[in-house]
Structure 1
Amino acid sequence: MDWSEAAEQRLNGLNELDEFRLKAYESSTLYKERMKKYHDNKIEKREWMVGDLVLLLNSMLRLFPGKLKSKWTLPYLVTQLFYHGLVELETKEGVRFKVNGQRIKFYFRHAESANEVIESCHLDEV
């Protein structure tokens, strides 16, 4: 057995291992960049305006379990917008507080119009 030949094979093996690690690191970096780009494209950009009515996500829902319990709480009024998605909300009583813009969604008033009676007919008449 030649020691110089064995040492050379050992160095070649270590160099190949370093190349393999470098390629794996580069491919994982490319994969992470592609996944971040894909994820960022799927995020819905929301533009809030002062005066919008929004619903707030109830993060304490775990304390009150219920299968059919809504995760969103009453409509709040947007009073002020800040940088980086911070939004100031106001309750009906006039209490103001700040929340992250990702925890709110638009409130649509379709439930109020459902209370209006357009036409009524009794089943006896039909």
Structure 2
Amino acid sequence: MTGVTDVLVVAPHPDDDVIGCGGSIAKHVRDGARVTVVIVIGRERSALDDAVTDAEFAAETEAAAKALGVHRCIRFDEPSRDFTLSRRVHLNLVRVRGRCGRRWSTCPTTTTTTSSTGWCTS
């Protein structure tokens, strides 16, 4: 055990947690930490994205979190278009952080091709 007991992963979009921090999540779970994932923005559909229902997509998101051993997965379902970090979103993140303990360190992803992929904090 690394001494980290609670880990909070904040992912801007669905699946950014798994793609950007999946390895770190698995390591922290293996080491005994309770991992909470927050997904800020809701599902963004493209014109070709009609094969999977919203319920199925939500179930996939939960299944991925469960497969990694995530203790709790929280979805804010903020709109993707014209997203702004509002006071409400900020306060929601503060509340979640308060429930996840006070020990923090950052593990930013460095191998992604987009600047919006999530980060891990513990």
> TM-score, normalised to structure 1's length?
0.22
Q: Report which of the two has the higher share of helix.
A: 1
> TM-score, normalised to structure 2's length?
0.22
Which of structures 1 and 2 has the bigger CA Rg? 1
